[in-house]
Amino acid sequence: MIQKGVKIELPSGKLGVLIPGLGAVSTTFIAGVEAIKKKIALPVGSLTQLGTIRLGKRTERRVPKIQDFVPLASLDSLVFGGWDIYGDNCYESAVKAGVLDKVHLEAVRPQIEKIKPWRAVFSQDYVKRLQGPNVKSGKNKMELAEQVMDDIEQFRKTNKLSRLVMVWCGSTEAYLKPAAVHGSIQAFEKGLRDNDPSISPSMVYAYAALCKRIPFANGAPNLTVDVPALTELAQEKGTPICGKDVKTGQTLMKTILAPGLKSRMLGMNGWFSTNILGNRDGEVLDDPDSFKTKEESKLSVLDQILQPELYPDLYKNFTHKVRIHYYPPRGDNKEGWDNIDIYGWLGYPMQIKINFLCRDSILAAPIVLDLVLFLDLAQRCGMRGIQEWLSFYFKSPMHATGLYPEHDLFIQLMKLKNTLRYLKGEDLITHLGMEYYD
């Protein structure tokens, strides 16, 4: 158990940001950071850059910015590197992704053009709709993991990095269930040497990162680091991990709206969600195996928030459907429709309709930034293993065995901020407030 008011190592030197998958999300993130550093854009959506934190009583009026309260790495200290199955540099990939306007990309072109992807660990067994030439080869998956570690070390030495963080921004892999090979470090390493089919490319990256004591965040719904072998390895190496599946569009709306409905004890008969998107993510999810992985992540949210076992009169047997459709003309600008059938006093029915025309990568990029900075902070605080306080950013938050994941966005934010208060030795905020009226 980490102690209240810990000694936090200062973020001296450069922080390397390792990204498997230089696609729409990661190029939007990298280009955005470079634009913010040039002061031609604002870090909208980033809690680490714009968020504040209340300290002590309301009457004290102590509300510093989070980045002034805890020692986070500066944006100027970030150095980017990554892997991709296509050979396009970061600028070329960003142009093809079509997320950012030319004015932003041209302003940072000299910085992002230098970022060229290393050969990726990839197999079409896990992502059937993609195929690229920039791929590693090796006699087994252990050798591929060692090649990833070599890339990391070369990146570290070339850029004289003090610390590193890895965030998976690659595609959604085919659905996997936990298998015997995931049960222990020994079984997992044997599986790497034996090319076990239950070890996906994302797991190879996670293993390589943890072996190097590099914090790892899983931005996709893949079964990656949330298996006993890799959570055990994270503990053994003293390394923070978190995931999975960054919470952006439709699920973000669910974690905002569902807690409100439950707080007012309004019943629900059903929630139907459908999406259209046309980027690489949409193409990948057009494959049923990859969609199954995403579906499991998106479906888990409402049950945990609404707790039908505690409120059977309101939420027992409600219908929850999720659909995703690949529609190329839409590009990265995803559109989500939700129909929510609720009921109120005496059981009278009502409906809520949501039409969210969101920009998936625009919502995801600040999450990647916050994960990088908070995981680096956790490492410098001596925190290890699952970082449940970062659940705020994920559709399917990792959690300790025997616990259920917390999905309520507002409880998640309270958990995150109380963790920061705890690390700095400040009183936790309960919002009780009775002391003002004694």
Element (H, E) at 189: helix 185-193
Q: If you average pLDDT over residues 73-94, what whole number do you get?
A: 98
- Per-residue buried b or exposed e for 341-365, using 16+ beta carbons within 10 Å of the residue's own CB: bbeeeeeeeeeeeeeeebbbbbbbb
Rounded (10°) CA dihedral 174, 179, 184, 186: -90
Return the closest-CA partner of residue 31 out of 88, 112, 87, 99.
112
Q: If you average pLDDT over residues 70-96, what whole number do you get?
A: 97
pLDDT over 70 percentage in the chain: 97
The pLDDT of residue 279? 73
Q: Which residue has the tokens 């809690």?
A: 47
Task: For residues 295 and 315, give the distance between their C-alpha atoms in angstroms, rounded to a whole number.
Answer: 20
The pLDDT of residue 32? 98
Is residue 389 a contact partner of residue 416, using CB atoms and an 8 Å limit? yes
Task: For residues 220 and 111, give the distance between their C-alpha atoms in angstroms, rounded to a whole number.
Answer: 27
Longest dimension (CA), the chain: 72
| pLDDT interval class at 2 (50, 70, 90) | low
Task: For residues 297 and 222, give the distance between their C-alpha atoms in angstroms, rounded to a whole number.
Answer: 9
The pLDDT of residue 300? 78
pLDDT surpasses 90 at 156 = yes
Q: If you average pLDDT over residues 218-226, what whole number do you get?
A: 95
Q: If you average pLDDT over residues 176-192, what whole number do you get?
A: 97
The pLDDT of residue 433? 84
- Which has more confidence, 326 or 373? 373
Is residue 79 a contact partner of residue 53, using CB atoms and an 8 Å limit? no
pLDDT surpasses 60 at 1 = no
Q: If you average pLDDT over residues 117-144, what whole number do you get?
A: 93
Q: Which residue has the tokens 């409120």?
A: 311
For the chain, the average pLDDT equals 94
pLDDT surpasses 90 at 249 = no
Question: What three-state secondary structure class fits 230?
Answer: helix
Return the closest-CA partner of residue 46 out of 435, 424, 364.
364
Amino acid at 175: Y
Q: If you average pLDDT over residues 19-47, what whole number do you get?
A: 97
| pLDDT interval class at 338 (50, 70, 90) | very high
Return the closest-CA partner of residue 249 out of 422, 105, 131, 367.
367
pLDDT surpasses 90 at 278 = no
| pLDDT interval class at 77 (50, 70, 90) | very high
Question: What three-state secondary structure class fits 132?
Answer: coil
pLDDT surpasses 60 at 224 = yes
Q: If you average pLDDT over residues 369-398, what whole number do you get?
A: 97
- Which has more confidence, 3 or 126? 126
Q: 65 pairs with which residues across the strands? A: 52
Q: If you average pLDDT over residues 328-357, what whole number do you get?
A: 94
| pLDDT interval class at 3 (50, 70, 90) | low
What would the two tokens of residue 340 be?
């929510």
Is residue 396 a contact partner of residue 300, using CB atoms and an 8 Å limit? yes
Rounded to an integer, what is the distance from CA 165 to the centroid of its chain? 13
**Using H for helix, E for strand and C for coil, what is the string for 274-327?**
EEEECCHHHHHHCCHHHHHHHHHHHHHHHHHHHCCCCCHHHHCCCEEEEEEEEC
Q: If you average pLDDT over residues 409-427, what whole number do you get?
A: 96
Q: 216 pairs with which residues across the strands? A: 166, 241
Is residue 125 a contact partner of residue 174, using CB atoms and an 8 Å limit? yes
pLDDT over 90 percentage in the chain: 83
Contacts 24+ apart (CB under 8 A), 379-382: 379/163, 379/165, 379/215, 379/239, 379/240, 380/8, 380/9, 380/10, 380/11, 380/71, 380/163, 381/2, 381/6, 381/8, 381/9, 381/423, 382/2, 382/6, 382/238
Question: What three-state secondary structure class fits 270?
Answer: strand
What would the two tokens of residue 141 be?
């998956």
| pLDDT interval class at 334 (50, 70, 90) | confident
Task: For residues 49 and 31, give the distance between their C-alpha atoms in angstroms, rounded to a whole number.
Answer: 16
Which residues lie closer than 8 Å to 421 by C-beta, 6 or more apart? 53, 55, 427, 428, 429
Q: If you average pLDDT over residues 404-420, what whole number do you get?
A: 95
pLDDT surpasses 70 at 35 = yes
Question: What three-state secondary structure class fits 49?
Answer: helix
